[in-house]
Amino acid sequence: MNIPFEVDLRDKVAVVTGGSGVLGSVFCEALAKCGAKVAILGQNREKLDHVVKSIQDSGGTAIGIQANVLDREQLLEAKKVIHEKLGTCDILVNGAGGNHPKGTTTREYLLQDDLTEKIEGLTTFFDLDPEGIEFVFNLNFLGTLLPTQVFGTDMVGKQGTTIINISSMNAFKPLTKIPAYSGAKAAISNFTQWLAVHMSKVGIRVNAIAPGFFVTEQNYNLLFQEDETYTERAQKIINQTPMGRFGEKEELAGTFLWLVSDKASGFVNGVVIPVDGGFSAYSGV
């Protein structure tokens, strides 16, 4: 992967949760290209090994550790391994997150007939499964809070430490059908601001990136039909994106590296930066 510019991250240890995903791997590779030693946390060993190998083949330093961001004991065990192999954490990227079908409605709008006629396979707002909602909130919010508690103690009082959270366009403009995910990402944006204030006296900067619409494994089938043309939902997204396309994953790297670098953004704290092709700025008119 090519990065738009380099910042000096030599001797820095970075921990990236969700780092084996399409977008998370961009953060890992960018960090490694700038000299950081990268610990990649995820649950799929095959995907972890793939990202680690890619970084090592390019001359970088990385290790992959299987850990569930909702399991504090697994995170503490991961922390021990990271301390032994790489050192204490300087940069934390909370990249783990996602949605769940049980937190999703079938239709964009509730119709009165939806409540009077039994339609097979239809999930209205009133049918949403509390367990599905809980899963989405836990994965996104607690999956950010718990790693911050575990790895944040390494960062207190050290110079140039930073936490990068991953919010979403859903936090700016909630998308139809996915109330749980939209609400959870709004919580991430709010938590980013809260944490930035709370950590400001101990030298830890906290910011977030809010990606617009990028194609990932998780959303591919929602965006493309079998013939690789856009689905109706994808076309709506494109119509609302002034730049008229989806983002390329590498286009996250520049904003990310700017936020990570204490020299480049040392007075930037508590912000949520959209990387969205103008989606959040467009009213549709």
The set of catalytic residues is 181
Q: How many residues does the chain have?
A: 285
User: Residue 174: CB partners within 8 Å, gap ≥ 6?
Assistant: 182, 183, 186
Spatial separation of the C-alpha atoms in residues 200 and 86, rounded to whole Å: 26
8 A C-beta contact, residue 237 and residue 176: no
Other Cβ atoms within 10 Å of 67 Cβ, number: 25
